[in-house]
Structure 1
Amino acid sequence: MLKAENLSFRIGDNLLIDDVSLTLMPGEFTMILGPNGAGKSTLLKLLSGTETPNQGQVWYGDQPLKSIPLSTLAKKKAVLSQLLSLPFDLSVAEVVMMGRYPYFSLNPTVADNHIVDQCLDRVGMISFKSRPFASLSGGEKQKVHLARVLAQLHRQPTDQSIKYLFLDEPISALDIQYQHQILNLVSSLASQNMVVFVIVHDLNLALQYAHKVILMHEGHLVGMGTPDEILTETTIETVFQLRPCFMTHPQTGRRVMVY
């Protein structure tokens, strides 16, 4: 379980997160939505420990996040940010191997190399293994970085501990086929005793995939619950200044949104 209590964060006079409390459970695929500047990425940074709140505290299970040693945390949580470029001339495999750094001291083992191959295969990038990372498209880079965080959270068969995965717009550069491929993959990860927290902009994808959604506006948590509970005509119009129309998908029976 991940629990945040009364989080606030400001830069100068700008209050970016205002008294946010929430609980995320393993097994749930949680998506966070809101307009640009709502505080989504800032909240992700606070929950993952990349930033420290001015007020409040984050707990991983019964441990305050700030008390967990970095060496332990590196094996418990992984973050995929919006920053895709790297200042180093690395191959695709070397980028994914960065996810294994917490597990070896000098040189990767045969097992580490096998895990890298497995993770590249899961995101459909194994044939790019030897390519220079800098030569890839934006969407290909996103998939490689996803493979990196998968490698970081790879489980041994006896490991039943809770893992924490944070993804900041992981499908923004992907075409529609790969958006669904990656979201299906991430959804399967949530079922493996993992807390999954993903920032997206497409409300229909949230309606289709999320177990729980968080809706934010101007640093405030507007609502948190199932997509049907939170993504209503009223809340969407309040947050996005756009009144949607809902329809029922003829094949899946799910609600879909048209504008």
Structure 2
Amino acid sequence: MTPREAPVPPAIAALPHDPRGYPIPAITPRDAEGTPTFAITGSARSLICAIERRCSICGTPMAPGPVYRVIAAAETEALAAAHAAGQTTAANKAPSPEPPGHRDCMLFAAFTCPFLARPNARRGQDAEVMGASLSRGTARGSSTETGSQTGGAVAGFAEYEFSYTPGSNQVAFLFSGLTELRIHQLGADQIPELITALADAEPPTESCPPYLLDDEEAATEHARELLEAAIARSRNAGATKA
């Protein structure tokens, strides 16, 4: 499906686009030439989205309530099994480097991101993720591994928490309280639901901030400011307790 054929949430349509016409997610870092590196999740950008509760795709604020992710087959099957067993607080216990986003934005990402759209998709570039080196060609995870027809899902969670490790410059997310699990074989299976959701959607009241657009230095600087502010608050809280 080409960018022109796909249903697009308005906040995503307002993002910068690459030469092919695809919108560039807010968490996608730019290299020294300003070219987006789609295979990598920018740590500074992820930290900004985590602290300011912004959608990792469109960069606009997420309202209180569930947050969403696109997950691979193995995690989908584990969550589905837990839910079927009556575990209403099913959670993702393994840390993920992928921050959450709006429901509409994740429905869109499910069929437009090459690494999410197909269960046997493979990375087009080398990447370092949560301390593991993922080389070009690394598979996301296929449903054929378990013999099922599950390719992945768009999952909603009641809560998320995150941690930042300065030494490795990594942001890790944990999600809890499964609220929705829209299972698909291919990401394109989510298109009808996105069309329905967009028909009832309110227009966005904010746009993606400049520090999550094309200026990588602005993203890095804003993340640094947020970290310094958090450290200062922590020190002040410690001094008050003392």
Normalising by structure 1, we get a TM-score of 0.28
TM-score (norm 2): 0.29
- Richer in strand (by share): 1
